[in-house]
Amino acid sequence: MSRPSRAYIAGAYEHPTRHAVGISVAQLHADVAKGALADAGLTKDDVDGYFCAGDAPGLGGLSMAEYMGLNLRYTDTTETGGSSYVIHLGHAAEAIAAGKCSVALITLAGRPKMANSGPARNYGDDTPDAGFETPFSPTIVNNYAMAAMRHCHEFGTTPEQLAWVKVAASHHAHHNKHAVRQEVVTVEDVLNSPMIADPLHRLDCCVISDGGGALVVVSPAIAKSLGDRCVKLLGQGEAVKHLNGGKIDLTYTGAAQSGPIAFAEANLTPADMDLAMIYDSFTITVLMTLEDLGFCEKGQGGRFVADGNLISGTGKLPFNTDGGGLCNNHPTNRGGMTKVIEAVRQLRGEAHPKVQVPDCTLAVAHGTGGQIGTRMGSATAILGRNDA
Amino acid sequence: MSESERSYPQPSVTVETQPFWDGTAKGILLLKRCRDCGETHYYPRALCPFCFSGETEWYEASGQGRIYTFSVMRRVPAPYVIAFVTLAEGVSMMTNIVDCDLDAVAIGQDVQLTFRETEGGYALPVFTPVAA
């Protein structure tokens, strides 16, 4: 059978750099755009829709359209942190289905390791939550740690179970020559690494890297002309989750909303997935997201990820086969893009042979943005091989 | 360096939140309640986030709360506890737990309001464990 798809991913490209010396942020965006267009077999003159988020320099879509010499009839600069690019994927498909564009380019790039990199968020005085949070010294890690602490309290999740997420990622990164951390680590290695913010150790945290990535999304008609490397977008869902006026619940993520929307649109379930690409800013992010997407019961994420269950070739659910943000890269602290790119490689059968999922037909890619302990964006995409 | 030697950054204050910070300067924690739906919300806003009424009013919190979750920030010169405390009034707020044994802080612990001066003259509402 062949499932219906409103749009296809025709091109995907991940910048090989992890430390962008001598490259501007604008050039990084253009380099990944060029790579994704070449991968698709298209040129920049074919692009009529452009999508970017807060990492794009200047006035976002306007500045980058000028830099790259694009002539556009559609643009979208939705900013939801690291989930932005999975949201752009859905918005691109909607724009294509509505006839507003036919070749949509999505770019992400940045160099947080280099000088002049701003904070993850702009805490200007007009930010309504800033006065009530910033003075207490929240950081990205202790924000996620508070969600992790509550999860451990309510469900008995253990540091050992969290560590298994990192262990699985490291097994995959071992085969990725571009990965920042290529060494295989053990549960003990994670638990013996310095405690940063209880209960998260250093190895529970993602890497920081420069780099970027891009996607080219096209209409079914154009996909037909480009051949069978095009990947189907079968479903997509979004969510914004926040502190709800102080009536808080930090035990779940926005994936509890975005996942069911995406799976329903695709008419598929988590059990149908051959691969899960899950934004992994921290180990807890993966554990909670897998629960919320429905791969296991709420509270059972610790048991689900333990004992190598996420390792390609041995576990039941291969995840983040490029090594993910925990080991491979985390361009400009925004991991949604790279989740989609590795899913595309897998669905084309072009992942590293040591991590390629046999007959990979269906995959889920999930992006998380903002912070899991306060306010966050979530986006889920269900992707299928060309013949899925 | 210990927690008691930490310096606290000044909060950003807007016309909407000035009364809150005037309150902490006097040693009281003010919350906002909606006159229409009766719900308390946090952080305080001019419009109720539950029913969108513009009729919100300040009132003084009891200062009693319980730790909903926390984390000890270890890899800094002066380790500190960040937390969400659920107030007796039903809303939870981000805060710090102070005057405590870092290794004895726990979810579910009863805490009471206290204050810390900031670099800019405003006071921050923080919490300390209630003696058992």
Three-state DSSP state, A165: helix
**Given CB atoms, is A248 within the 8 Å cutoff of chain B?**
yes
Q: Among B31, B91, B94, B109, pick the best mutation site for testing chain A contact (most A Cβ within 10 A).
A: B94
Phi and psi at residue B82, in whole multiples of 5°?
A: -100, 145
More confident of the two residues B5 and A111: A111
Residues 88-147 of chain A with CB under 8 A from chain B are: 123-139, 142, 145-147
B12: nearest CB among A130, A142, A146: A130
Per-residue pLDDT reduced to its tens digit, B32-75: 999 999 999 999 999 999 999 999 999 999 999 999 999 999 98
Q: What is the pLDDT of residues A56-80, one digit of tens each?
A: 999 989 999 999 999 999 999 999 9
The 10s digit of each residue's pLDDT in A188-228 is 999 999 999 999 999 999 999 999 999 999 999 999 999 99
**Residues of chain A positioned with their CB less than 8 A from the CB of B11:** 130-132, 134-135
Mean pLDDT of B113-125: 93
Global pTM reads 0.96
> Does A139 sit within 8 Å of B10, measured CB to CB?
no
Mutate to test the interface with B, among A122, A134, A142, A288 (most CBs of B within 10 A): A142
- Type and span of the H or E element at A109: strand A103-110
- Residues facing residue B85 across a β-bridge: B67, B93
Q: Are A200 and A148 in contact (CB under 8 A)?
A: yes
Chain-centroid distance, C-alpha A77: 17
* Alpha helices by DSSP H, chain B: 18-25
What's the confidence (pLDDT) of residue A202?
A: 98
Chain B positions touching A288 (Cβ under 8 A) are: none
Name the closest residue on chain B to residue A197, using Cα atoms.
B73
Residues above pLDDT 90, as percent of chain A:
93
* Among A residues 175-204, those touching chain B with beta carbons less than 8 Å apart: 194-200
